[in-house]
Structure 1
Amino acid sequence: MSYKTVKKDAFAEIEIKKSRFIAHIAEVKSEEEAEMLIKQVKKKYYDASHNCSAYILNSDQGLRHSSDDGEPSGTAGKPMLDVIAGAGLVDVIIIVTRYFGGTELGTGGLVRAYSGVAAEVIKNSTVVEITSARLMEFVIDYGLLPKLQHLLLELGIIIYETEYLEKVKISVLVTDEVSGKFFKELTEITAGAFTKDSAVRDEQVDFYLDKRKVILDFRG
């Protein structure tokens, strides 16, 4: 199972008829965390006309929430929510601060402004694909290493760490999609010497790739 989210906060700003729209995107993992960030932004931009927001959570049964914060109903939060959903992102919040420039934009103009700056801030962010897997560590003889490496390559299983000592200590990330075949073939290629119960470490983790480097993403 995998999903897309953002890492590291990002910002974008546009100006339309002297109104400034400042967008902030961030990763959030709970409704409480999202609401706390909204409060922080409202405190920072206390003199703004509006601080509109939208977020989608992967947890909490895929909770979706949006707020127009005083803008005409459906012209701010909902368009931002649609942009997040259209990008396939979860555990993400976008907050857009507006400083009114003195000219009304109309409902269509507001929808375009809020959805436009939301799309822009996503472009400025770092989108990653989070994947759930079992982090499994095995200690094997050097003679079995080529067979194991071939199996891992065949199944597309990522090697997280390898340590060459008296024996080889190898850690791999096994997803649900390939786990059944991996454990079956692991037993076969080692003539029963290794099974899934042979792992000296077996832990459920989330991970993502950053410039080909594997980053473990432990969820709180």
Structure 2
Amino acid sequence: MQDEYRTVAHAGVHETEINHSRFLCALAPAATEQEAQDFVAAVRKEHADATHNCWAYVIGADACVQKASDDGEPGGTAGVPMLQMLLRREMRYVVAVVTRYYGGVKLGAGGLIRAYGGAVGETLDALGTLTRRRFRLATVTVDHQRAGKVQNDLRATGREVRDVRYGEAVTIEIGLPDADVDAFRAWLADATAGSAGFELGGEAYGDA
């Protein structure tokens, strides 16, 4: 698995105008290829009267799924530069649709490539991106007496507390970078006089 990847913080739209043509770039996070395709379909429906609705998406932390469409623009002048911009910015789990309303002035192949790629780049800048980092999931089990202090210490040191459950004991689920596991295990033993349970689970991604 990749140690980290970048994605868009939230869905949004940004508009640019070039030689009287309007370019509306809609960006959204997409956890699966189906989500990306559904987003494309929704934008195409919303802008059914547009000249073109070109799209690109990258799914997977390792960018294992990459697809793009020129939607009637000359081959390689729209979807591909959009995809290249996403990859150049190291974006993952993201879908982009650029809707063009033709303004009467032809841009030429080079102009189209700059327009479509640039629309994606400008929208990424406008919406903002976030980095998601790979974590090991871990479960800490501690008695009620020590639970409050452990939780406070975890948050004070910036640890990601993913879930807290109260039963006979308190179960705290956290995310840890692989490199921190041994040091955390030692800290926990010291903080709880060796009374806490600690169990490593699988892997997931969380906000860096």
| TM-score (ref. length: structure 2) | 0.79
Aligned-pair Cα RMSD in Å: 3.3
| Stretch moving more, 51-60 or 67-76 | 51-60
Provide, for residues 20-74 of structure 1, a one-character-per-residue CA deviation record: whole Å limited to 9, x for no partner: 1110000112222211211111111111111111111116862111111111111
Cα pair 2:59 2:65 within 8 Å, conserved: yes
Kindly provide the amino acid, as one letter, of the partner of residue 59 in structure 2: L
Aligned equivalent of 1:18: 20
Report how far residue 195 of structure 1 moved: 4.6
Contact 1:52 1:67 in 2 (8 A): yes
Which 5+ residue runs of structure 2 have no aligned equivalent?
A: none
* 1:93-104 equivalence runs, <5 A: 93-104=95-106
Task: Give 3-state SS (helix, strand or coil) of 1:70's partner.
Answer: coil
Which residue does 2:38 correspond to in 1? 36
Query: How high is the sequence identity, in percent, across the aligned residues?
Result: 32
- Describe how 1:1-220 pairs up with structure 2 within 5 A: 1-58=3-60, 62-133=64-135, 134-140=137-143, 141-142=145-146, 145=149, 149=153, 153=157, 157-158=159-160, 172-187=174-189, 192-197=194-199, 205-208=204-207
Q: Deviation at 1:145?
A: 4.8
What's the secondary structure of 2:76's corresponding residue?
Answer: coil
> Can you list the C-alpha shifts for 1:104-128, whole angstroms capped at 9, x where unaligned?
1111111111111111111122412
Alpha-carbon distance in 1 for matches of 2:141, 2:192: 13
Are the counterparts in 1 of residues 7 and 94 from structure 2 also a CA contact under 8 Å?
A: yes
What do the CA deviations read for 1:1-35 (whole angstroms, capped 9, x no partner)? 32211132111111111111110000112222211
Say which is worse superposed, 95-104 or 2-11, in terms of deviation. Answer: 2-11
Aligned length: 201
Residues 141 and 198 in structure 2, CA contact (< 8 A), matched pair in contact too: no
| Post-superposition CA distance 1:54-102 (Å, at most 9, x none) | 1111168621111111111111111111111111110011100011111
Supply the AA of the counterpart residue of 1:17. N
Per-residue deviation at 1:177?
Answer: 2.5
Counterpart residue number, 1:217: none
Report the CA distance between 1:205 and its aligned residue: 4.7
| Contact 1:30–1:59 (8 Å) recurs in 2 | no
Cα gap change, 1:27 to 1:56, in 2 (>3 Å): same
Structure 1 unaligned regions, length at least 5? 210-220
Q: Distance in 1 between matches of 2:49 and 2:185?
A: 59
SS of aligned partner of 1:136: strand
Retained in 1: the 8 A contact 2:5–2:61? no
Q: Contact 1:10–1:125 (CA<8 Å) still a contact in 2?
A: yes
